[in-house]
Structures are given as structure tokens and as C-alpha cells.
């Protein structure tokens, strides 16, 4: 079974530029998550989708971050405009149903550097 796929793996941009990340979850998984991991810290949830609907986006900085999951499969996370403090690894995860008993599986991440 293929795992969670993410691209690109690395991205370097200047502040105030925009950037987009792509995630393809494990086939058949209904729930998709985006996490942000700043160096030296544990990942922090940004947004959770159940199929193509948003379940939790309470920690998403909505003035600059946006995410969508069209057709309930692939997802994109966008940052516009980027700030220096957005430098981090962006991790995508998926789980079968999204219920309280679900195990989450993570992709390899996209490492973003904002200069």
C-alpha cells in the first residue's frame, strides 16, 4: 500500500512570496491533516479535512494560509505572503475515518525555508 505522498520535498522562497504544497493521502482515507513542525518542536495541527469539508482550522493563520481538498482526495496548502517565521516542515497525514480511534499516517514532509 502506497503511503502519503507530498511534493515538493524542499522549497526556498523569499519573504512576501507565495508557495503551495501538495498532498496525496493513502488511498481510501477519508481524513486529511496538515501539520506545521518548527525546528526543535513537535508538529502542530493546522487544518483537518473530513472528505472535502473542514473539521478543524482553529490554528490556521487564515490571513495568509489557505487549504483546500477538492473532490475529497488530494489537498493543497498555500501561504501568501510568506513570512520568515513560516520556515518549517509541513507534514501531511491521513487516517481512514477520522474518528476518535483512528491511527494517523504521515508523509515525508515539505521543508520550507523563507529568506
Residues found near another protein in the complex (CB under 8 A): 31, 33, 35, 41-45, 48, 55-56, 89, 91, 95, 98-106, 108-109, 111
| C-alpha torsion sign, points 45, 65, 48, 27 | negative
Nearer Cβ to another protein, position 38 or 80? 38
In whole angstroms, give the CA distance from residue 32 to residue 94: 4
Question: Using an 8 Å Cβ cutoff, are 98 and 31 in contact?
Answer: yes
Nearer to another protein, 61 or 108 (CB): 108
* Beta carbon nearer to another protein, 39 or 70: 39
Query: 94, 28 in Cβ contact below 8 A?
Result: no
Shortest distance, position 16 Cβ to another protein, whole Å: 26
Amino acid at each position: 500500500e502506497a503511503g502519503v505522498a507530498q511534493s515538493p520535498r524542499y522549497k526556498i522562497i523569499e519573504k512576501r512570496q507565495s508557495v503551495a504544497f501538495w498532498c496525496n493521502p493513502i488511498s481510501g482515507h477519508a481524513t486529511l491533516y496538515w501539520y506545521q513542525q518548527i525546528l526543535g518542536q513537535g508538529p502542530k495541527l493546522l487544518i483537518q479535512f473530513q472528505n472535502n469539508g473542514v473539521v478543524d482550522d482553529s490554528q490556521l493563520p487564515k490571513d495568509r494560509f489557505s487549504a483546500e481538498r477538492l473532490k475529497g482526495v488530494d489537498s493543497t496548502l498555500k501561504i501568501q505572503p510568506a513570512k520568515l517565521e513560516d520556515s518549517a516542515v509541513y507534514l501531511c497525514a491521513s487516517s481512514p475515518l477520522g474518528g476518535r480511534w483512528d491511527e494517523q499516517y504521515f508523509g515525508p514532509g515539505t521543508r520550507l525555508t523563507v529568506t
